[in-house]
Structure 1
Amino acid sequence: MDSNPSVKTAEAPNEPPRFVVGSTMRHVLVMTGTGAAGLVAIFIVDLVSLLYISWLNDPSLTAGVGLATVVMFFTISINVGLMIPIGALVSRSLGARRPDDARRLATSCSILMAAVAAVVSLIILPLLPTILTMIGASEQTYEVARNFLWIALPTNVLMAIGMAFSTVLRAAGDAKRSMYATLSVAAVTVVLDPILIFGLGLKTNGAAVTINIARVAYVYVSFLYLTRAHDLLRRPDWAALFTDARPFFAIAIPAILTNIAAPAANAFFTGVMARFGDQAIAASAIIDRVTPVAFAGVFALAGAIGPVLGQNWGAQRYDRMKQTLRDALTFTIVYVGSVWLMLVLVQVPITRAFNAPPATAEIVQVFCQLSGFIWFFVSLVFVANASFNNLGYPLLSTFFNWGRATLGMIPFAYFGAEIGGPKGALVGIGAGSVVFGIAAIITAFWTIRRLERQAIPAV
């Protein structure tokens, strides 16, 4: 099935790049749909894992996994920041019909991403006592979170490699195989989670072991697709690696700074919730798992438009770049509105499924009622950041993400909690996102117009 020459992008340089022709809305929908399918599978598995743990009827276990998730969110956010230069550089080379450059960059950037991910894990592990204490871990939740992270964090490097390979597949326009690679994580987790958590009695540690095994599967499947279907990897060239490091880190450093704004803000919010006890932390953990499942389309959209913009920039199709942003906005309005209605309708069943005690259930239900308002403006920042990172303006992405995570969140969440407790904190983070969301998307259109003015006409 992988012998179809139409998918061997690196071997067919005379064919027009996939995203430079055809409907931009179709490209946005296909890339977002396939990306969302893979993400939903992973996020649902994470949600089900927490659901299993909640069935152990120990709020400290749920809260402990929630705190561990805050730390893992930090490492995954760095990985996502490292994915951005891979997608930008490889898609741009393919759009400009330079397949040899794309192959070299895919290899070099994947190695660089793995190296950074390994260093991040080595730094974080000895700092866990300080980090977990800072975000409000009690004696019981601390032990749960620490044990979980000591099992799962060492394989962060495998997660980084799988994410790198999957990003190259998407940069080549092969959203389907990228989705299949991601689905392999979900498939392994669905099978092993109940066996390890309940069957072997490993509880939260069983969920952490499952994460490691699923990451091995992710690397294996994505590597097979990338080498057999596209031939977009080659033997490492250390001279090329050092040469490619410069453009890689030129995008990666501001992208990482941009992405760690979200886990930093999440850690602050978790600290605010910790003031109200384990039930509030458990509510935060449930929200953290429900949100990506519900709004997976937004996460996928941010990753989907990057390759589309990158290939059209390489081909100097600025009209298609602007249309891609407009299509992304249309998708955001329809998608977020639909999800908001759904969450309002299922707010009570969600809390019952998690055996949530009254205080936890109340907080989760308030989130469901506010979710669409919060996430529409957050989505605008996501879409704008994808544009900035792929079009040579990564510092703008850093500015808007940190602006929303600090000025747009910290004072609003803090004073909201002072006035209305955990529910007030949720209202605060929604109110603080409005200005930054609107300003970010306006700026994204401005950057494309600027690139068009600066462009030298193609000969």
Structure 2
Amino acid sequence: MGHVIVMTATGSIGLVAIFMVDALNLFYISLLGQQELAAAIGYAGTLMFFAVSIAIGMTIATGAIVARALGAGDRERAARNGGAALVFIGLAMTLIAALIWPNLHVLTGLLGARGETREIAVHFLQIVVPSMPAVAIGMGASGILRAVGDARRAMYVTLIGGAVSAILDPMLIFGFDLGVTGAAIATNISRLAILGIGLHGAIVVHDLVRLPDPRALFSVARPFFVIAGPAVMTQLATPVGNAYVTAQIARFGDDAVAGWAVIGRLIPVAFGAIFALSGAVGPILAQNLGGRRYDRLRSAMRDALVFTIVYVLVVCAILAAFAGPIADLFGATGHARELIVFFCVFAAISFLFNGGLFVANAAFNNLGYAFYSTVFNWGRSTLGVIPFVWVGAQLYGAIGVIAGWALGAVVFGIAAVIVCFRVIATIEHRDDAEPPVGPVPPTAQSPFTSAKGATLG
């Protein structure tokens, strides 16, 4: 539990910092007094969520293949894996940015954006989309840092990026009177900071990046994409679900979309530790899988779930107590205020089940069962979103949309956790009859290995 908490706490500080800046960004925009601006940021955020989700999926794969090599005591292979993974991330995200940029009007229109709101969203995205490869490579480097157990530097990657944005946002939005353009420029500069800090830690501090030759690149491609493919598909499920929710919310006007945008910024700030937990527990599981410590696979999962329950209950109590002031902070009125208050008081508790799903998916991705995470996440984001949200919209309007989105998490969260423990049992029974691939030396270079060779955490 101590290891889970330390890795989660350091990860969540960085995550919450970057998402807090995102929330402040929306707060500054709301001070300009135009609902269209806040709604435009909401549409832009929904679209960018797709790209970030792809980067997260590849970051999961990066951490997994580096952590497995470290757990087996092969640091040179870990460095080759890390270098190849960053190359794959850079190439993939450059291609995606090139495909998205010329189609921004079409994509924002599909989300329900219209008129001036649509033009503002497109303008913001035209500035921000080209920086997608930079932030994705920085995220991949932070995955390498988590894999080697350097939670502090992994935290610095996003913490410093968040600090840069926090300083530049008000300066550019108000000081230089650039409005939404200033917010976009600040986002790009903060992403460059994330790239620089991440690469410095992975390359200079830990020497865990080797630029591969074509042969080495080809050899790493299969293990990387075996994890990255399902992980990306898994991560894409959530923005698909969110896009459907956004399109349904758009039926009720820009003020409802503005409220949904605030909720979208509030979720990662309030539940950043749960997002960080899913990223932190993955390398712990991968290293113990490499060390064949199945008892610690089970205990790490149990501790992660206990942490989820306690954390979500505490945060939900705080959100319910301050629902009104939170809505007032963003100047929300009408539908926007109703949605924010409803989320804080009622819908936020769904993260008990979302958290269980996140942790189970991290386990599936790092234990060689990534297909399961794809199934559960897509189930949650389709069967657990579309019918619930549609019915909610018909019966209760915009509030019904949020209620339906929250209710869909229950079944899939519970089922994912049950299947996860069965997977761990299956791995243990399967490997009991197989000898280790290679010895884990007493001085293995894993940061989770003691002098006596015992895997920690």
Alpha carbons 1:257, 1:398 under 8 Å: kept? yes
* CA distances 1:25-57 after superposition (whole Å, capped 9, x unpaired): 111101100000000100110000100000000
- The one of 316, 319, 334 aligned to 2:295: 319
For 1:187 and 1:363, the matched residues in 2 are separated by 29
Give the number of equivalent residue pairs. 435
- The one of 22, 25, 31 aligned to 1:46: 22
Question: Aligned residue for 1:350?
Answer: 326
**Are 1:56 and 2:32 matched, yes or no?**
yes
Map 1:194-209; keep pairs closer than 5 Å.
194-209=170-185
For 1:259 and 1:242, the matched residues in 2 are separated by 25
Alpha carbons 2:62, 2:144 under 8 Å: kept? yes
For 1:77 and 1:127, the matched residues in 2 are separated by 19
Question: Aligned residue for 1:13?
Answer: none
- AA matched with 1:269: V
Of 128-137 and 64-73, the range deviating more from structure 2: 128-137
Question: Aligned residue for 2:129?
Answer: 153
- Tell me by how many angstroms 1:235 deviates: 3.4
**Are 1:451 and 2:427 matched, yes or no?**
yes
Of 119-128 and 392-401, the range deviating more from structure 2: 119-128
Map 1:62-77; keep pairs closer than 5 Å.
62-77=38-53
For 2:405 and 2:201, the matched residues in 1 are separated by 41
Map 1:59-458; keep pairs closer than 5 Å.
59-455=35-431, 456-458=434-436
- AA matched with 2:179: K
- Tell me by how many angstroms 1:315 deviates: 0.3
For 2:400 and 2:126, the matched residues in 1 are separated by 34
For 2:16 and 2:409, the matched residues in 1 are separated by 24
Alpha carbons 1:68, 1:146 under 8 Å: kept? yes
- Tell me by how many angstroms 1:133 deviates: 0.8
- Tell me by how many angstroms 1:238 deviates: 2.3
Of 78-87 and 427-436, the range deviating more from structure 2: 427-436
Of 242-251 and 32-41, the range deviating more from structure 2: 242-251
SS of equivalent residue, structure 1 residue 260: helix
Alpha carbons 2:389, 2:404 under 8 Å: kept? yes
- Tell me by how many angstroms 1:358 deviates: 2.5
Of 260-269 and 229-238, the range deviating more from structure 2: 229-238
* CA distances 1:295-324 after superposition (whole Å, capped 9, x unpaired): 001100000000000000000000000000
- AA matched with 2:133: V
SS of equivalent residue, structure 1 residue 232: coil
- AA matched with 2:95: V
For 1:387 and 1:163, the matched residues in 2 are separated by 19
Alpha carbons 2:84, 2:210 under 8 Å: kept? no
For 2:288 and 2:84, the matched residues in 1 are separated by 23
Measured on the aligned residues, the alpha-carbon RMSD in Å equals 1.0
**Same amino acid, percent of matched pairs:** 46
- AA matched with 1:379: G
- Tell me by how many angstroms 1:393 deviates: 0.6
- AA matched with 1:116: A
- AA matched with 1:147: H
Alpha carbons 1:96, 1:314 under 8 Å: kept? yes
For 2:247 and 2:188, the matched residues in 1 are separated by 28
Alpha carbons 1:374, 1:429 under 8 Å: kept? no
Alpha carbons 1:337, 1:372 under 8 Å: kept? no
Alpha carbons 1:189, 1:211 under 8 Å: kept? yes
Give me the TM-score of the superposition, normalised by structure 2: 0.94
**Are 1:27 and 2:33 matched, yes or no?**
no
- AA matched with 1:360: A
Structure 2 unmatched runs, 5+? 440-457
- Tell me by how many angstroms 1:190 deviates: 1.1
SS of equivalent residue, structure 1 residue 356: coil
- AA matched with 2:400: G
- Tell me by how many angstroms 1:291 deviates: 0.6
- AA matched with 1:364: I
Q: Spell out structure 1 runs of 4+ moving beyond 6 A.
A: none
SS of equivalent residue, structure 2 residue 322: helix
- AA matched with 1:233: V
For 2:146 and 2:347, the matched residues in 1 are separated by 29
Alpha carbons 1:312, 1:321 under 8 Å: kept? yes
Alpha carbons 1:280, 1:359 under 8 Å: kept? yes
- Tell me by how many angstroms 1:84 deviates: 1.1
- AA matched with 1:349: P
For 1:342 and 1:373, the matched residues in 2 are separated by 11
For 1:236 and 1:139, the matched residues in 2 are separated by 48
- Tell me by how many angstroms 1:69 deviates: 0.3
Of 407-416 and 241-250, the range deviating more from structure 2: 241-250
- Tell me by how many angstroms 1:237 deviates: 2.1
- AA matched with 2:265: R
- AA matched with 1:166: S
- Tell me by how many angstroms 1:274 deviates: 0.3
- AA matched with 1:385: N
Give me the TM-score of the superposition, normalised by structure 1: 0.93
Alpha carbons 2:335, 2:398 under 8 Å: kept? no
For 2:108 and 2:204, the matched residues in 1 are separated by 43
